Structure 1
Amino acid sequence: MTSVDDGVDLEQVAALLRQRHEQTVEQIRVQTAESHNLRQAARHEPGDVADAGSLISDTAQHDIVTAKLTEQAERLSAALDRLRDGSFGRCGTCGQQIPLARMEIMPWATHCIPCQQRAERGR
């Protein structure tokens, strides 16, 4: 099983993490602007009750997406911090290497799959 230590170019990983972080921050900016525009439209366009309900729903959807993107940006930032301090790719519970395939899908992962599953069952 390939792990982060198995010949992975950490500079390349850092570049990919930074790129994903920048893309996520840009998505947050777009979502925030769209949400602002929807709020402005709701204030300035009286419309009927259905229009108001639709604007409120659309704004709420943008807010949910923005919150999820913000969480993702924070996780990516934390992954970059772990890359700098040398703990990237190591399970925070057992200390074993997290498989590369998991890190590629979820670069913010802090636990190997067995430890993550145990933690989720314990909830």
Structure 2
Amino acid sequence: MLAFTCMTEARRLGLFTALVADDQVLLSGETGTVIATCPPSIAGLIELRGTGIVRQDHVPQAAMHYVVLPGSASGENRVPPEGEIVSLAAGVSLPALRLLTGVSSPLAILMAKAPDIGD
């Protein structure tokens, strides 16, 4: 539901948005860039939990710039570490953006942390 909510928010802001994949994403590293690719069998499909599978505008692949880590925040984990990096496939790393699960405007929060989102 997070991806769908972010795409809906982006459309309202007049930003381009398209689904790469839901549930299964293939990652590859190409010259220091992480490429997310959708398996053909699920292209354009996204699950809206409790509602079902729906079709969305989609692209077969896209470059990744961040890793979004949904979760909870309590105690010492309330404030994530600055400059957090996640190591991915092919020895490539990306900056992490932590996002509290269930927030009502997730894209707005992600854009506050990473203002280049939407450029």
TM-score of the pair, normalised by structure 1? 0.20
Structure with the bigger percentage of strand: 2
TM-score of the pair, normalised by structure 2? 0.20
Say which structure, 1 or 2, has more relative contact order (CA 8 Å, 6+ apart): 1
Structure with the bigger percentage of helix: 1
